[in-house]
């Protein structure tokens, strides 16, 4: 095949990776507090082309090869919706709830669809304990409880602690699956001044119309690169058949 296939391959791979990300965003349209992602790309020559003269035709093609540079997450606020459930919490503003699993691993989440464990602790749907400011789980008992906009837990006239809402730099956290983030152990977690709303949940920040429009556009973009590869293949077939007849 000719050199013209390489830009088409590069663009096609870029389109496929973008399709994967946009499709995942749409699949999480109804996931509580989901944050949309977007891939970023950079131009980088493949490893096997490092010794090619950068001023040659091959070198210019190699240096225009598009590769995945990373995934950027949109942390903008989703719509806050009232649910009526006392165990549902939402954050208005920046920050995350802290969760700790049975092995002591720490996670961050914006998903406040919590439950009460048999021991009376506030936990995620996976059973991870919601952390209070300082350390330790949030014990609310089995009765009714209130959460103030500052995150204080009130059971009757007693204050049981304050739910931890922390913030970190975007580059220091990464998605860990299950609508949770992990944080760099060396990164400082700062207290957030954001409000906590009881009986509310944050919706996904995916914009359905925008994401669907983008999905259609990227699909057509990918099809265009496929057509380029098909055209190149057909030209090669014609060229080879002509060369074969001359040789005879």
User: Are 124 and 194 within one domain?
Assistant: yes
Q: Which residues are registered as beta bridge partners of 175?
A: 181
- Write out the residue range of the structural domain in which residue 145 sits: 80-202
**Which residues, including other chains, have CB under 8 Å from residue 245's CB and lie 6 or more apart?**
none
Six token digits for residue 238 = 């014609």
Cα separation, 19 vs 153, in Å, equals 43
User: Are 148 and 198 within one domain?
Assistant: yes
pLDDT (tens digit, 9 = 90+) per residue, 178-236? 999 999 888 888 999 999 999 999 999 999 999 999 888 877 776 766 665 566 566 55
At residue 153's C-alpha, the angle toward residues 147 and 158, to 5°, is 125
Kindly state the DSSP code that residue 80 receives in the 8-state scheme.
E
Q: Which residue has the higher pLDDT, 197 or 53?
A: 197
User: Are 185 and 243 within one domain?
Assistant: no
User: Are 55 and 36 within one domain?
Assistant: yes
User: Are 181 and 218 within one domain?
Assistant: no
Six token digits for residue 217 = 């556009």
User: Are 48 and 150 within one domain?
Assistant: no
pTM for this model (two decimals): 0.78
The total number of structural domains that make up the chain: 2
User: Are 180 and 88 within one domain?
Assistant: yes
Q: In what helix (H) or strand (E) does residue 77 lie, and over which residues does it extend? A: none
User: Are 24 and 57 within one domain?
Assistant: yes
pLDDT (tens digit, 9 = 90+) per residue, 133-163? 987 999 898 778 999 999 999 988 888 899 9
Residue located via tokens 């007693």: 158
User: Are 87 and 153 within one domain?
Assistant: yes
């Amino acid at each position: 095949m000719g050199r013209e296939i390489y830009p088409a391959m590069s663009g096609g791979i870029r389109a496929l990776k973008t399709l994967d990300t946009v499709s995942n965003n749409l699949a999480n349209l109804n996931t509580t507090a989901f944050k949309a992602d977007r891939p970023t790309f950079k131009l980088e020559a493949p490893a096997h082309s490092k010794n090619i003269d950068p001023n040659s035709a091959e070198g210019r093609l190699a240096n225009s090869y598009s590769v995945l540079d990373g995934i950027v997450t949109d942390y903008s606020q989703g719509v806050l919706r009232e649910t009526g459930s006392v165990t549902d919490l939402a954050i208005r503003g920046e920050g995350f709830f802290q969760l700790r699993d049975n092995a002591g691993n720490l996670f961050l989440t914006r998903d406040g669809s919590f439950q009460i464990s048999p021991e009376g602790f506030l936990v995620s749907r996976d059973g991870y304990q919601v952390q209070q400011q300082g350390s330790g789980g949030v014990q609310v008992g089995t009765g009714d409880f209130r959460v103030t906009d500052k995150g204080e837990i009130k059971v009757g006239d007693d204050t049981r602690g304050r739910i931890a809402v922390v913030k970190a730099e975007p580059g220091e956290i990464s998605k860990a699956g299950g609508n949770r983030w992990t944080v760099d152990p060396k990164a400082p977690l700062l207290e957030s001044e954001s409000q906590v709303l009881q009986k509310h949940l944050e919706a996904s920040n995916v914009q359905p119309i925008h994401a669907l429009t983008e999905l259609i556009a990227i699909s057509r973009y990918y099809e265009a690169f496929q057509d380029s590869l098909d055209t190149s293949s057909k030209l090669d077939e014609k060229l080879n058949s002509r060369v074969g007849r001359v040789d005879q």
